[in-house]
Amino acid sequence: MNPLGFWRYISPFIDDDNSRPTKRKQERGVLSRMFMAEPAGTASGNLQSSGIHFDGREYWNLDVATLVDMAVERNEGFFTKHGALVTETGERTGRSPNDKFIVNEESSQNDVNWGEVNVSIDEDSFFRLKAQVIDFLSQQDSLFVQDLYCGADLDEALPIRVINHTAWHNAFARNMFIRPNQEQLATHQPEFTVYHAPHFEADDSAINSQCFVIVHYAQREVIIGGTRYAGEIKKSIFSVMNYMLPKRGILPMHCSANTTGDNTAVFFGLSGTGKTTLSADPERSLIGDDEHGWGANGVFNFEGGCYAKLINLSEEDEPEIFSTTRKRGTVLENIVVDGDGVPDFFDTSKTENTRGSYPIDFIPNHVKGSKGGHPQNVIFLTCDAFGVLPPISKLTHHQAAYHFISGYTAKVAGTEVGVTEPVATFSACFGEPFMPMHPGVYADLLSDKMNQHGSTAWLINTGWSGGPYGVGNRMKIKYTRAMLNAALNGELESVEFETDPRFGFAIPKTCPGVPSEVLNPRQTWNNQQKYDETANRLANMFNENFKRYENGVSDDVNAVSPKPMST
């Protein structure tokens, strides 16, 4: 019997005040005191081993259905009309990059690429803050523990423990990581522990605000405080994997992945490039949508769930993701709900970074086991608002390393009247905030994997054609999909290519289902002199950005940098 069965309160919608019958609240309090001595759920360890001496109620490895019920019981959120849990993260509705630190200690200090992204903190400050976090957690009336894995390939997985004082964050952790079966749980020994205290606000001169996310690699611990944004939990462990796996010859990747079973592809791309849309293909099964490893056995998902952006989500455009928002077990962050309990995904009054967390098996077309073979194709997605890059191009392995390190896309500048100039965005390895090592480490691993398994790299531009934003037009999704399918299915192997004189990559002259005149971007501009000037500007932006990394990569990779031309 579920140890919390007598608490279950199933309702399609709970009003904002989360009102509950007084008698039931009293009953719950009596029952809670009666069973204070024994942890609820399946205990797979003890909090003392994690340094917490606790007199309250412990909840171990509860299922998500129980946890979301408890979240409503505890006034942490409410249910939508369809049974999804709605929560709010308060002031911080996204990651806090200025509050993220890595402990500078002997075992890791020479491996970390210190700088603006990977900011150091001393050990004394870490242990001081950790003691405050543990003291805060120890004073709570309830703690929630999940013993999980990061990594679907259990030969390479990291056993983790997540300790929360809120039920909804514990439900998030259980959604997002790999859930062990009973046999695995019986032998689970955590190799990294996350101490999560979102309602603890620090006052310490060693950090920048009351919020902090600190990892100590030697201690194998993460402490998080002062932020309720749940994404910090998963991203902190992703950063840990990005440090640990390269030492074992495994490439960690911030990407999505899909497969036919025999044909696997990985998709790298920053926000707005179409990564989620293009990797969702009815003819191919989803391995995962965000974080993966490429090891000896192929590609494997780090996660057991998805953390989807929900802004402007519609049933027509993304029916599978939309359906998850109507399922019990989904956790919705910062979503506006109408009086009938129906989410409005177009309302961004709380934040544009609205999110939904759900287990991957809520997506019908997913790969059971979340693993695939070695990728035949590596896809780099960019949304080039300058209108310079071709809609599809083939890269050499050295060019793949260069563009992997560059992690380029472009966004249109703000919404002020008359401002239409695109803004270039570079994020190394398409996930710079989560990469503790020099990007060259990851690029070398990518090159080695591609060489070993004969993978082909493609750069696909989902952005503008015929001119920059404000002049040209966004590439039609049906053309982008046709080009992608042609690349994945091997239909471009026999076509003729031409070489781009500045960027050096190979552009197909023909592609099934795509007008040939859109394949070469220069030919789509009415003013080709303007194209040349804009292309030179973008080439210079690439080169200026790459100066940060040129000392950590090979001469062959540096040699493929773009070459501006005289106009």
71-104 residue pLDDT tens:
999 999 999 999 999 999 999 999 999 999 999 9
Can 63 be counted among the known catalytic residues? no
* Overall average pLDDT of the 338-360 stretch: 95
pLDDT at 37 exceeding the cut of 90: no
**Higher pLDDT, residue 155 or 419:** 155
Q: What percent of the chain has pLDDT over 70?
A: 92
**Which residue in 235, 292, 371, 403 is the catalytic one?**
235
- Taking a C-beta distance cutoff of 8 angstroms, is the pair 509, 470 a contact? no
Give phi and psi for 62, each to the nearest 5. -70, 150
Q: Which of 1-5, 117-121, 559-563 has the lowest mean pLDDT?
A: 1-5
Can 271 be counted among the known catalytic residues? yes
Can 355 be counted among the known catalytic residues? yes
**Which residue in 355, 366, 394, 398 is the catalytic one?**
355
- Residue 71's pLDDT is 98
pLDDT at 28 exceeding the cut of 80: no
pLDDT digits (tens, 9 = 90+) for 482-530: 999 999 999 999 999 999 999 999 999 999 999 999 999 999 999 999 9
- Residue 412's pLDDT is 67
pLDDT digits (tens, 9 = 90+) for 248-305: 999 999 999 999 999 999 999 998 888 888 888 889 999 999 999 999 999 999 999 9
Rounded mean pLDDT of the chain?
91
Can 235 be counted among the known catalytic residues? yes
**Which residue in 161, 228, 275, 394 is the catalytic one?**
275
User: What residue type is 283 in one-letter code?
Assistant: E
pLDDT digits (tens, 9 = 90+) for 386-413: 999 999 999 999 999 999 999 999 976 4
Can 481 be counted among the known catalytic residues? no
Can 122 be counted among the known catalytic residues? no
* Overall average pLDDT of the 140-152 stretch: 97
Radius of gyration in angstroms for the set of CA atoms belonging to the chain, rounded to a whole number: 25
- Taking a C-beta distance cutoff of 8 angstroms, is the pair 143, 61 a contact? no
> Has this prediction a pTM greater than 0.75?
yes
* Overall average pLDDT of the 209-220 stretch: 98
- Taking a C-beta distance cutoff of 8 angstroms, is the pair 391, 445 a contact? no
Closest CA to 487 of 407, 375, 566, 564: 375
Within 487-557, strands assigned E span: 497-499, 506-508
Buried b (16+ CB within 10 A) or exposed e, 227-245: bbbbbbbbbbbbbbbbbbb
* Overall average pLDDT of the 304-327 stretch: 93
- Residue 274's pLDDT is 86
